[in-house]
Chain A
C-alpha cells in the first residue's frame, strides 16, 4: 500500500518539512560540556588519589581549559536562545522533570568551581603570579585548604554534567533517535574520552600519558560497546526507531558517522594509543586530535539526525 501525506498551508520556518530548531550551538555546547566534565572528573580523581605530583598535567594544567570550555559553551547556549533577554528565568525556578533545568543549575555551580580550581593553581603554573587584592589571597588559601572536598564535589558535578549532555536529548520521546537511555552513559563516556585526549596531548610526562592512554582505551572500548547496543536496541524496537537506525545504516548519515566517528574518531586513535603503549613512537597529538574531532562530529550528527526522526501518523 502506498501512502502519501500532504500538509496544506503549512510551511513554518525550521519546523517544516522537518525540524531544524537546534543548529550548531547545541552540539558545540554538548561537546564542550562533555569535554569539561571529562577533565574536571579526572583532575578531581587524581587529586583525591594523592597523585598530584605524578599526574601534574591532569590536576594542574588541563583544568585551565575547563572554565574556557564552559564559558564558550554557555555563550553558545545563550546564542541558541530565541528569547534571550529572559534567560534569567532559568534561575527563578527548579524543575525536577526538566533535564535542561538540571543542566542550568549544574552549570551554575560547576562553572565558578572550575574557575576556583584553576585559580588555586595559578601560582604554581605562572611563577611570580601575585593577586592584586588581599581578598583573593585569603580566598585562594581557603580553596587550597578544602581542595579535597572541592575535588569530590567536582567529580560528582562532572558526572552529572556529562550524563546531562546525553539526557538532554534522550528525554525527548518525540525524537526516536534520541529517545534511548543509552545516550546518557554514551555521552558521558565520550565526553570523558575527549577530556582525556586533551590532557594526553598536553602532557609531557611519559608515565602520565601511559596511565591516561590505558584509561582512554578502556573508555573507547566502552563507547564502542554502547554504540553497538544503541543500534541493536533501535533495530529491535518499533518502526520509528528502526527508521532512525537506518539513517546510519545506509541512510544519509552513514558515511559521516562510520568514517569520522567510528573509524577516525574511535578505532584508529585507540589503535594508535595501544601501539604507543607497546613502545612504538607515535606523536600523541594525532590520536588526541582524532578523538576530539570525532567527539565533536558525533554530537553534530546526533543533534541533526535526531531532529529528522519523528513519529509517523
Chain B
C-alpha cells in the first residue's frame, strides 16, 4: 500500500477550504496549519500565468525527517504515511530543518506536528478532511498500488510534476498540470 495525493492545479481555485477543514478536523492551534495554498504567478504582463497549489506534507518515500530524528519519534506507518509520536518528540527541530517543503511546525505544546493524511479517518474508511471538503474536487487521494484508486486514475490520464524532485526525497504529492 502506498498512499498518495494528486492535486489538480487547473481545477484548484485557491479557496482555502482544505486548510480550514484540516485545522478543524485536527484541532490545529490558531496561527498554524498543516496544509496551505501557494499561488505561483509566472511570466510578465500580458503573458501571465497563475498556478494554484494546495500543499501539505509530501509523505516522502525517502523521508529526511525520519532519518534525522534522534529519538525515532518521526516514523513511517502502513501506507507510507510519515507520523510523529508526540511523547517521543523532544522538540529539537532537526526534522523541521530537514524538510525541503517546510511542512512541519513546532506545536505550541512543544512537539513537532504535521499532516497525517488523516490516518484516523482512513482507519474508519473515510478519506482525508481536505479531500472530503474540496468544492472543486481537485484533490485525489488513494493507494498508488491500486490501479482503480482515485489517485492512480488521475495520474494515468494527465501530465504531472512533483515539487523539488532534485531534493531526492521522492515526494508523494503529485501536481496535475
Contacts and interface: CB of A to CB of B under 8 A. Distances in A.
Contacts of B33: 9-10, 12
Interface stretch (B104-112, B120-128, B139-147, B150-158): B104-112
B167 A83 contact: no
B134 to A, nearest CB: 15
Interface string A1-18: 111111111111111100
Question: Which among A7, A21, A175, A307 has the greatest number of chain B C-beta atoms within 10 A?
Answer: A21
Contacts of B169: 173
A15 B102 contact: yes
B109 to A, nearest CB: 8
B135 interface: no
Contacts of A174: 64, 97-100, 167
Interface in B29-53: 31-33, 36-44
Given A1-B43, A313-B163, A84 B91 contact: yes
B131 interface: no
B31 A21 contact: no
A80 B44 contact: no
B36 A98 contact: no
Contact of A173 (B70, B88, B90, B168): B168
Given A15-B102, A95-B71, A172-B68, A81 B92 contact: yes
B93 interface: yes
B79 interface: no
B57 interface: no
Given A8-B14, A9-B37, A83 B97 contact: no
Contacts of A97: 67-68
B87 interface: yes
B88 A86 contact: yes
Interface residues of B, number: 49
B94 interface: yes
A15 B90 CA distance: 18
B166 interface: yes
A311 interface: yes
Contacts of A4: 40-42
Contact of A93 (B41, B68, B71): B71
Contacts of B168: 173
A11 B39 contact: no
B16 A313 contact: no
B70 A6 contact: no
A281 interface: no
Interface stretch (A99-107, A208-216, A227-235, A266-274): A99-107
Contacts of A10: 33, 36-37
Contacts of A238: 166
B69 interface: yes
The 4 closest A-B pairs by CB, nearest first: A82-B91, A83-B110, A83-B91, A100-B70
Given A81-B91, A173-B100, A173-B169, 20 more contacts: A4-B40, A5-B39, A6-B40, A7-B39, A9-B37, A10-B37, A15-B105, A19-B97, A21-B97, A82-B106, A84-B110, A90-B70, A90-B71, A100-B92, A104-B70, A172-B98, A173-B64, A173-B168, A174-B64, A312-B164
Interface of A: 1-16, 19, 21-22, 80-87, 89-90, 92-93, 95, 97-101, 104, 171-175, 238, 307, 310-313
Interface of B: 14, 16, 19, 31-33, 36-44, 64, 67-73, 87-94, 96-100, 102, 105-106, 109-112, 163-164, 166-169
17 contacts: A7-B37, A8-B14, A8-B36, A8-B39, A9-B19, A14-B106, A15-B96, A82-B106, A83-B90, A85-B110, A98-B70, A100-B94, A101-B71, A171-B98, A311-B100, A311-B164, A312-B164
